[in-house]
Structure 1
Amino acid sequence: MESIMDTDKNIFPNRLKELRKSAKLTQQQLSSELNIKQGTYSRWERGLLEPNIAQITDIAIFFKVSVDYLTGKRDKEYSTIPALNHEPISVAESSKIADYVISSIFTALSSAKEKGISEQTMVALLSELGFEKEAQTTLIEQLYETGALKQPKEQ
C-alpha cells in the first residue's frame, strides 16, 4: 500500500497545516477536536508520522474536503472548480465524478466499520443520502464481498 508520505513535497503535511491555519485553529485545538494527542498531531504536520485511514477520513470530514484532496491525489476540491456557464459535462467527466463519489462513500463506510458502526446504521445512512433500497443492498454487499469491509463471523 502506498504511503501518503511518499511524495517529494509532503503534500499531506502541508495541506493539513494549511487547512488548520485557514480554520484559525492551533494544533492543540485541532488535536482536541480529533480526539488525539497534540504530539501525535504535530508529528503528522511535520511528516514524521502518518495517520491511519480512519484518522485521515476524520480529518477530511472535519475540514469538509475529500480524502483525495487531503492526500494529494487531487489538486483541487470539486467544490472549488468553477462551473462552466452550466454547459453540459461530458460522459467521461460525469463518470469521473461518479467514480469519485462512490470512492468517497466506500472510504467513509470503511471508516465507519473500523469504528464499530453497524451494517444496519450504514444502511440507514445510505437511505438518508437518498439511495434506493436496492442500491443500498448492492453497495453493502459489494463492500463485504470485496473485503473492504469484512463482516465479523457470528458465533
Structure 2
Amino acid sequence: MESFSERLIHLRHSNNLTRKQVRESLDINESTYSRWENGTRTPDNETIVRFANFFKVTPMYMLGISHLRNGEEYLLDVLENIESDDTAEGLKAKAGLAEYRKNYI
C-alpha cells in the first residue's frame, strides 16, 4: 500500500508538475509541502480533499487506501467484476458496461 507521500509524488510526476506548481496552485508554503512529500508529516483531512480535487482522484486514493483513482475507475471495476455473472443482473451489467464503453471510452 502506497503512503500519502508516495501518491503525492506519483500524481505530481504523472501530471508533469513541479513541486512549486502544485504548492502555488494550492497556496501551500514550501516547508510544509516538503514535509508531506518526504513523509514526515501528513496533511489534515481538508487538505487531503484539496489535493484529491486538484489531481481529480478520491481522498481514499490519495491516502493509499484504494487503488482506484476516481469514481469512473470504481464503476468500471464493479462492472467488469459482474461481467462474468450470467444471471439477469449480470447480463444487465454487461449491457451497461458495453453502453458505457461505447459512449465514454
Q: TM-score range by the shorter chain?
A: 0.5 to 0.7
Q: Mark the CA change 1:44 to 1:87 in structure 2 (over 3 Å): closer, same or farther.
A: farther
Which structure has more helix as a fraction of its residues? Answer: 2
1:29 corresponding residue in structure 2: 21
SS at match of 2:52: helix
1:88 partnered with 2:80: no
Relative distance call for 1:87 and 1:11 in structure 2 (3 A) is farther
- Determine the structure 1 residue equivalent to 2:47: 55
TM-score, scaled to structure 2: 0.67
After the TM superposition, which of the residue ranges 34-43 and 70-79 deviates more from structure 2?
A: 70-79
1:68 maps to what in 2?
A: 60
Equivalent residue, structure 2, for 1:127: none
Q: Does structure 1 retain, via aligned residues, the 8 Å contact 2:48–2:59?
A: yes
| Distance of 1:74 and 1:10 partners within structure 2 | 9
Whole-Å Cα distance in 1 between the matches of residues 2 and 58 of structure 2? 17
Count of equivalent residues: 81
Q: What is the TM-score with the length of structure 1 in the denominator?
A: 0.47
CA distance in 1, matches of 2:10, 2:30: 17
In 2: Cα distance, 1:62 partner to 1:36 partner: 13
- Gapped regions of structure 2 (runs ≥ 5): 84-90, 95-105
The one-letter amino acid paired with 2:93 is P
TM-superposed deviation, 1:79: 2.4
Per the alignment, do residues 29 and 73 of structure 1 end up closer, same or farther by CA in structure 2, a change over 3 Å counting?
same
Answer 1 or 2: higher relative contact order, Cα 8 Å, separation at least 6.
Answer: 2
How far 1:88 moved relative to its partner?
A: 1.9
1:76-117, CA deviations, whole angstroms, 9 ceiling, x for partnerless residues? 23423455368528xxxxxxxxxxxxxxxxxxxxxxxxxxxx
Quote the offset at 1:24 in angstroms: 0.8
Output the aligned Cα RMSD.
2.2
**Equivalent pairs: percent with the same residue?**
33
